[in-house]
Amino acid sequence: MRHFRSLPGVISWSIVGLLVGHQLAYAFVFRDPHVLAHALADTGHTWLALLPILGGVALAISLVRTINTRDESSSFRHRAAALIVVQLVAYVAIEIVERLAHGALPSDLLAEITSLQGALLFFVGLLLQVATALGVVLLSRGIARAARYLLRAARPTESHRTERLLPASDPRRIVRALSLQPVRGPPLLA
């Protein structure tokens, strides 16, 4: 689809996947809600309070772009590759910026990644970014197909076009309006 070739389309869909994958990674590694809240507070994740707003805006932009796009020339592999690359780079960048903004030093970043829990979180996060990117591609394809189907169903058919040409008092038009079936004559008798 063309929206995966354009930068706004890639960014809007990757934000949806990035936010979902980011939240899932922390929820998967820190299963206890109290430990999860403490870990998020200690690593500069206060911005996640804006998650519903950011996710909603990104999803709305993505849906509008997908529905308004009719070109399906890019393959699943190209769309998935674009989202995977953007989401992986963004995930690593966000994790680094969160910690630096929260006061961590570069040496602290290295120490965290080399610890067992930090390495687990990092690799689970990367795997979930790949999984959510694939899920987002499938979601966008489904939305695009549904939009095309609905647009095709909303288009008037040839019989509707010719019916508009008939005068309002024409019996064929009245019968069609009442029965929603084409006009048929009686069966032929042999």
Domain layout of the chain by residue ranges: 2-154
Q: What is the pLDDT of residue 129?
A: 93
Would you state the pLDDT for residue 69? Answer: 65
* Burial of 1 (C-beta count, 10 Å sphere; 0-12/13-18/19+): buried
Mean pLDDT taken over the chain: 76
- pTM for this model (two decimals): 0.66
3-state class of 1 per DSSP? coil
Q: Is 90:136 a contact under the CB 8 Å cutoff?
A: no
With pLDDT > 70 as the criterion, what percentage of the chain qualifies? 72
| 130 pLDDT more than 90 | yes
Residue of 135, 131, 136, 114 whose CA lies nearest to 28: 131
In single-letter form, the type of residue at position 145 comes to: R
Token code pair at residue 7: 């930068």
Q: What pLDDT is recorded for position 128?
A: 93
Q: What is the pLDDT of residue 2?
A: 47
Average pLDDT, stretch 49-76? 71
Higher pLDDT, 85 or 27: 85
Give pLDDT, residue 177.
Answer: 61
Rounded Cα distance between 22 and 25, Å, is 5
Segment 83-98 mean pLDDT: 88
